[in-house]
Amino acid sequence: MSMRSATRKHLSVVGGIARFAMVTVAEAAKEAPNDHKPLLFLNDRNVEHFTSEETKLIEAAVQGLREAEAKLNWQGLPLRVVKVDSSYVDMHPEAARLAAIAAATELIQGK
């Protein structure tokens, strides 16, 4: 059985500053451990130890996923943020949150 996933991007410019994130959300097996840590890539490089700013990016993506689950009353397999991509210059928590909402919505609605 293959794991379903969805990846969505968010790019906006606010006050002349770009905000960018791409988030992948996937179904997780019911027996999967709850301590899953999403992968973070900045400028196409894997970040293994997060700074406080990078932690905020991951937390915002997880928050967006939870918001989509609540809004759409998700009852299926657990969903997880598995990957967040951005750049050092354009990373912004709101972009990660919005990308996660879009990815989770796509996955939940099966589109």
Q: What are the pLDDT digits (tens) for 4-19?
A: 999 999 999 999 999 9
**Number of other CB atoms surrounding residue 6 within 10 Å:** 21
SS3 (DSSP) at 15: coil
pTM of the model: 0.92
- What are the structure tokens assigned to 17, written together? 């500053």
What does the pLDDT look like over 15-49, one tens digit per residue? 999 999 999 999 987 666 666 789 999 999 999 99
Domains of the chain: total: 1
Amino acid at the residue 8: R
CATH number at residue 36: 3.30.230
Query: What is the rounded distance in angstroms from the CA atom of residue 65 to the CA atom of residue 7?
Result: 12
Amino acid at the residue 19: R
Please check whether residue 21 is in contact with residue 96, taking contact to mean a CB–CB distance below 8 angstroms: yes
> Quick one: what percent of the chain has pLDDT higher than 90?
82
Range of the domain at 24: 5-109
